Amino acid sequence: MRKRIRPLLFFAVLCTGFTLPAFATEVTVYKSPTCGCCNKWIEHMQANGFTVKAQNVADIMPYKSANGVPLALGSCHTAKVDGYVIEGHVPAADIKRLLKERPKVLGLAVPGMPVGSPGMEQGAHKERYDVLTFDNAGNTSVYARH
């Protein structure tokens, strides 16, 4: 009898419309209180299923330093998600891939503020840019090209 209950229970769960919870990983973003492109990146992250906790700070540099972001990879905001550092306008899809693959890196970065990256949209104009991985030793490699 017990073997019959499991398949019936599975079928009953399917019939009730039960779905798995949506992707909801919390991202903490350290940013200037007046940065509009940071707010647009946050909206991009939220639209892609992330829960975002924005921390407005007077000086972002201590957060970059404390999280091992090399100066050459700097951008306007620094974020933390599930043990990784995210520097700048990294697309949500690349962050989801990072969280799925779990490479042994410190994080991802989009140096500067390339036009067309999430939060930096300006109509049809888009610059090509790379998403880079970085580690504690400052080594980088290309993770994605956009």
What gap in Å lies between CA 114 and CA 11, rounded to an integer? Answer: 49
Average pLDDT over the chain reads 88
Q: What is the pLDDT of residue 24?
A: 61
* Contact status, residue 31 vs residue 76, Cβ threshold 8 Å: yes
Nearest Cα to 40, choosing from 144, 115, 97, 98?
A: 115
Q: What is the pLDDT of residue 8?
A: 46
Between strands 78-81 and 26-31, the pairing is: antiparallel
2-53 pLDDT, tens digit each: 444 454 444 444 444 444 444 568 999 999 999 999 999 999 999 999 999 9
* Contact status, residue 118 vs residue 91, Cβ threshold 8 Å: yes
